[in-house]
């Protein structure tokens, strides 16, 4: 599995058999994807004419092309958990992260957690630091917030990477913060 950042917040996830977009822009969709997530229904510029794509912007449980998906509303955004390529990936796209204990438990099962930059970095770090996830990716961070996050994670020397390549067998034992370079 490969995860790449386009613009400030659009993520392209290329699995072995399925490709997923998280919060894409119109110009991003030149890349093939079977599953497209939008933060909210109003962001869905595809409308009902999705072609072969499955578009998700609200709560539900789905299975699309071998990807198991659970999504629910969080604040004014969406929390989604996807299981594919033996990796469980969580995505939170909201300006406020107020999670019930059940939602926290679901996120704690994830190998990778992607959070849209929102609120105070310290609050987000306090939320995720004890969850047991392997990788934390935050999108839309300003340079000062990137440094602050890496400092809290005690990973000041972390390099920015263009693409995060993942395999279940190579996941780190301790959570690593990943800073993706925009394409």
pLDDT tens-digit series, residues 61-81: 999 999 999 999 888 888 999
Predicted model pTM: 0.89
- Nearest-angstrom CA–CA distance, 37 and 11: 10
Q: Where are the domains of the chain?
A: 2-178
**pLDDT band, very low/low/confident/very high, at 152 (cuts 50, 70, 90):** confident
Taking domain 2-178, whether its CATH number is 3.60.15.10 is answered by yes
Overall average pLDDT of the 118-135 stretch: 83
């Amino acid at each position: 599995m490969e995860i790449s950042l386009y613009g400030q917040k659009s993520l392209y996830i290329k699995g072995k058999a399925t490709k997923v977009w998280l919060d894409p822009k119109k110009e991003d969709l030149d890349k093939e994807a079977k599953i497209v997530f939008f933060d909210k229904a109003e962001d869905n510029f595809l409308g009902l004419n999705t072609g072969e794509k499955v578009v998700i912007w609200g709560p539900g449980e789905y299975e699309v092309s071998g990807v198991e998906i659970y999504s629910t509303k969080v604040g004014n955004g969406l929390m989604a958990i996807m299981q594919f390529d033996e990796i469980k990936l969580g995505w939170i796209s909201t300006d406020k992260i107020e999670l019930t204990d059940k939602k926290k438990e679901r996120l704690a099962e994830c190998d990778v957690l992607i959070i849209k930059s929102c609120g105070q970095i310290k609050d987000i770090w306090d939320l995720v630091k004890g969850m047991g996830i392997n990788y934390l990716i935050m999108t839309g961070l300003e340079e000062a917030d990137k440094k602050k996050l890496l400092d809290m994670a005690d990973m000041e020397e972390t390099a920015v990477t263009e693409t995060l390549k993942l395999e279940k067998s190579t996941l780190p034992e301790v959570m690593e913060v990943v800073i993706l370079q925009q394409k």
